[in-house]
C-alpha cells in the first residue's frame, strides 16, 4: 500500500534554516506567527492530512464522482471530511482576518497545501480553487463583492471556480464565445458553455461561485475584449444566505485518467445572472490573479504527489526481499536481501528524494518572496521580492509537475509488477500526477511565459534576481575545500544557463520560432540550475551542522546534494546541446512529411 507521513522535519528545515522563515514575523500582520504557532499549525495539518484525507484517497479514486439529473455527488466520506476541514478553519488560514481568515503567511499555507495534496490531491482541488477565486475578488472586486463573497470563501461554506476553457478553444482565450449582455441594473446575463471546470458542481458547499470569462457586445476582438464575471450557482440574499437557483448548471462530468474524486464539469450558462469583476475588457488581468495562484498551487500538487511516491517506494524497497547484493548477502539471515541494496533501485530512490526535496526548496523560496512582495517595509524590497516570484512561478509550475510525474513513475518502477496493479496504490499517483503538467497552462505555455515575457521584462531585471545571488554564492564559497566539488558543478551549470539565455535572446530577436523551439529546454535547464543552487546552499548548511547530528538529518542532506550534483544536474548538459542545435530541425519539415509513407 502507498504510505504517507507528513515531512515536517524537512519543511521546518527549508522554512527556517534555508530561508530564515522566522524573519516573516517582522512583516506587518505576521507578528503573532512565531515558530511555536507555525509548528502547531503544521502538526495539526499533518494529522488531518494523514489521518482523515489520506484514508479516503484510494476509495475516492475507485468510487469517483457521480452525476445524475444535474447533481454531482462526491465519493463516500468526502462530505464528512470537508465538514471537518471547514470546522477546523483550514479553508481560511491564509485569508485576510478582515474577512474571517487567519492571515497566516503564504509560506506556511503552501506547506499545508503540500500535505493536503500528498494525502488526497482530488480532495484538495475543492478548497484550492476557492483560494484562487478569493484572490481574484480580493484584488479586483468591489467593496460590496468583497464583503459578501470573501467571508463565505474563508469559512468554506461557499466555494469558487475558474471558468475559462470552451469546447473550441483552450489556451487561446481570445476565441471564447461566451457572451455577457448588460441589463441596465449593474448585472449581466451570461450565456455560453465552459469545459474542464474543476469543482464546477459538487455537494460539499452551500453555494458555488463561478468566475467566468465572457465578452460584452462592444468587446474588441481577441484577449483585449475579455471581461470577468462573477456568476453564483444560487443567487445570494442581502443577509448572505442563498436564494433562488441561477441558470448555471452542470451538463456532464468528465471520465478521466486520474483525480477521479474531483468533479471536472461541463458548465452551461443560459442567461445566468452575473456581475462584472474589475474593469470592462480587462478580465485577463483579473483572471491572472487566479491563474498565478493556481499555477503555484499546481506545482505544489506535483510536489505533494512526489513526496507520497518517494515515501511509498522507500518503504517498499526496505521491506521487499528480492535477490542478493552483488558483493554478497547483506541480510544472510533472510531468504533474500531487501530491494534497497541494489544500485539501480538506490539510484531511483535518490533521484526521487533529491528532486522532491529540491522542488520543496524551490516552492518555499517562491512562497517566502510572495509574502515579502506583499508586506515588506519598502517599495524597493517589495519589488525585488516580486521580481523573483515572477521569474520562479513558471519554474515551480512546470518543474514541480514534471517532478511529480517522474517521481511517481519511479515509484512504480521500484515496486515492479506490484506497482502496476491497483492493490499497492502507486499507480493512482501516476494517473493523478499526469494532469498537473497540462492544466493551468501546459508546461509548454509556462516555457513560453519564461522566454517571451519573463526573460525580457525590465531589460532582464527578473533574470538578475536569480543570477546575482547565485554568482555571489559561488564567489563566496569557491575557496572552501569542503564545498569545492559542489561549487564547481554549480558554477558550470550556471554558465550553461547563461549561455543558453544569451543564445535564445539573440536568435529570438530575428526569428521567434527559434526562441519558442528552445523554450521548454530552457525552462527545464533553468529549473535544474535553480534547484542546484538551493542544494548547494543546503550543503553549506549541512556541513556546518553535521557534527551535531544525532538523527543523521544533515548528513542525509549533504549526501543527497552530492547525488543531485553528480547524477541529476548533468541533464543540463544535454539540454544546452538541444538548445544550441537551434530550431531548424523542428521547423524545416513540411507538415505533409509527418506521416509520409
Map out the domains of the chain as residue ranges.
Answer: 8-140, 158-285, 288-585
461-477 vs 512-545: helix axis angle to the nearest 10? Answer: 40
DSSP 8-state class, residue 583: S
Say how far apart CA 382 and CA 364 lie, in whole Å: 17
Amino acid 92: pLDDT: 95
Which pLDDT value is given to residue 122? Answer: 98
Residue with cell 458548465: 267
Report the alpha-carbon distance of residue 172 to residue 473 in Å, rounded: 41
Cβ-Cβ contacts under 8 Å for 14 (sequence gap 6 or more): 360, 361, 364
Q: What is the CATH number of domain 8-140?
A: 1.10.540.10
Selection from 62, 83, 63 nearest residue 73 by Cα: 63
- The angle formed by the CA atoms of residues 156, 158 and 159, to the nearest 5 degrees, is 85
Residue 499, C-beta contacts closer than 8 angstroms, at least 6 positions apart: 576, 580
Q: Which backbone phi and psi does 245 adopt, to 5 degrees?
A: -70, 135
Enumerate the active-site residues: 440
CA distance 112 to 110: 5
CA angle 553, 557, 560 (to 5 degrees): 135
**C-alpha dihedral sign at 359, 360, 364, 367:** positive
Mean pLDDT by 10 residues, the chain (597 residues): 96 97 95 97 98 98 96 98 98 96 97 98 96 93 96 97 92 91 97 97 98 96 94 94 97 98 98 97 84 91 98 98 94 96 98 98 97 96 97 98 98 97 96 96 96 92 97 97 97 98 92 96 98 98 92 97 98 98 95 95
pLDDT value of position 98: 96
Cα dihedral 589, 592, 593, 597 in deg (nearest 10):
180
Q: What is the pLDDT of residue 383?
A: 97
- Alpha carbon 544 to its chain centroid, in Å, reads 32
* The pLDDT value given to residue 291: 80
pLDDT of residue 517: 97
The CATH architecture that domain 158-285 belongs to is Beta Barrel (2.40)
- Distance of alpha carbon 434 from alpha carbon 262, whole angstroms: 14
CATH level 2 (architecture), domain 288-585:
Up-down Bundle (1.20)
Q: How many residues does the chain have?
A: 597
Amino acid at each position: 500500500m502507498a504510505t504517507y507521513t507528513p515531512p515536517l522535519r524537512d519543511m521546518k528545515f527549508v522554512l527556517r534554516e534555508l530561508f530564515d522563515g522566522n524573519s516573516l514575523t517582522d512583516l506587518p500582520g505576521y507578528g503573532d506567527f512565531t515558530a511555536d504557532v507555525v509548528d502547531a499549525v503544521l502538526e495539526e495539518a499533518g494529522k488531518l492530512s494523514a489521518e482523515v484525507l489520506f484514508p479516503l484517497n484510494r476509495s475516492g479514486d475507485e468510487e469517483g464522482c457521480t452525476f445524475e439529473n444535474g447533481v454531482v455527488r462526491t465519493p463516500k466520506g468526502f462530505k464528512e471530511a470537508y465538514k471537518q476541514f471547514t470546522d477546523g478553519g483550514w479553508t481560511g488560514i491564509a485569508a485576510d482576518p478582515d474577512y474571517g481568515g487567519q492571515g497566516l503567511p503564504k509560506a506556511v499555507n503552501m506547506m499545508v497545501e503540500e500535505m493536503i495534496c500528498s494525502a488526497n490531491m482530488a480532495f484538495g482541488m475543492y478548497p484550492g480553487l476557492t483560494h484562487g477565486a478569493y484572490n481574484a475578488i480580493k484584488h479586483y472586486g468591489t467593496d460590496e463583492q468583497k464583503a459578501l463573497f470573501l467571508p463565505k470563501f474563508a469559512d468554506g461554506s461557499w466555494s469558487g471556480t475558474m471558468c475559462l476553457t470552451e469546447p473550441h478553444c483552450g489556451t487561446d482565450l481570445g476565441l471564447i464565445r461566451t457572451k455577457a449582455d448588460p441589463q441596465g441594473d449593474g448585472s449581466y446575463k451570461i450565456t455560453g458553455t465552459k469545459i474542464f471546470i474543476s469543482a464546477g458542481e459538487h455537494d460539499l458547499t452551500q453555494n458555488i461561485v463561478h468566475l467566468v470569462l465572457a465578452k460584452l457586445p462592444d468587446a474588441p476582438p481577441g484577449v483585449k475584449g475579455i471581461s470577468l464575471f462573477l456568476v453564483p450557482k444560487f443567487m445570494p440574499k442581502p443577509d448572505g444566505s442563498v436564494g433562488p437557483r441561477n441558470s448555471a448548471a452542470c451538463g456532464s462530468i468528465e471520465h478521466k485518467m486520474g483525480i477521479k474524486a474531483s468533479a471536472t464539469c461541463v458548465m452551461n450558462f443560459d442567461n445566468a445572472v452575473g456581475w462584472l469583476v474589475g474593469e470592462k475588457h480587462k478580465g485577463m488581468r483579473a483572471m491572472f490573479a487566479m491563474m498565478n495562484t493556481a499555477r503555484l498551487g499546481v506545482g505544489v500538487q506535483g510536489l505533494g504527489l512526489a513526496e507520497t511516491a518517494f515515501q511509498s517506494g522507500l518503504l517498499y524497497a526496505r521491506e521487499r526481499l528480492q535477490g542478493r547484493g552483488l558483493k554478497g548477502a547483506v541480510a544472510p539471515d533472510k531468504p533474500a536481501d531487501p530491494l534497497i541494496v541494489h544500485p539501480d533501485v538506490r539510484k531511483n530512490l535518490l533521484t526521487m528524494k533529491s528532486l522532491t526535496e529540491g522542488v520543496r526548496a524551490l516552492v518555499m523560496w517562491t512562497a517566502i518572496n510572495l509574502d515579502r512582495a506583499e508586506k515588506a517595509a519598502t517599495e524597493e524590497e517589495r519589488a525585488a521580492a516580486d521580481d523573483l516570484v515572477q521569474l520562479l512561478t513558471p519554474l515551480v509550475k512546470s518543474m514541480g509537475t514534471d517532478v511529480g510525474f517522474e517521481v511517481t513513475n519511479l515509484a512504480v518502477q521500484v515496486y515492479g509488477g506490484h506497482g502496476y496493479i491497483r492493490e499497492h496504490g502507486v499507480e493512482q499517483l501516476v494517473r493523478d500526477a499526469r494532469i498537473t503538467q497540462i492544466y493551468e497552462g501546459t508546461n509548454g505555455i509556462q516555457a513560453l511565459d519564461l522566454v517571451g515575457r519573463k526573460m525580457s521584462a525590465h531589460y532582464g531585471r527578473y533574470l538578475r534576481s536569480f543570477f546575482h545571488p547565485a554568482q555571489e554564492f559561488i564567489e563566496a564559497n569557491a575557496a572552501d575545500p569542503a564545498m569545492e566539488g559542489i561549487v564547481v558543478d554549480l558554477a558550470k551549470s550556471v554558465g550553461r544557463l547563461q549561455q543558453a539565455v544569451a543564445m535564445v535572446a539573440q536568435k529570438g530577436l530575428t526569428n521567434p520560432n527559434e526562441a519558442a523551439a528552445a523554450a521548454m529546454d530552457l525552462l527545464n535547464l533553468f529549473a535544474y540550475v535553480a534547484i542546484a543552487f538551493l542544494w548547494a546552499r543546503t550543503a553549506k548548511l549541512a556541513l556546518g551542522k553535521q557534527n551535531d547530528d544525532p538523527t543523521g538529518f544533515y548528513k542525509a542532506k549533504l549526501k543527497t546534494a552530492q547525488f543531485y550534483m553528480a547524477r541529476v544536474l548533468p541533464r543540463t548538459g544535454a539540454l544546452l546541446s538541444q538548445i544550441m542545435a537551434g530550431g531548424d530541425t523542428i521547423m524545416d519539415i513540411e507538415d505533409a512529411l509527418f506521416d509520409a509513407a
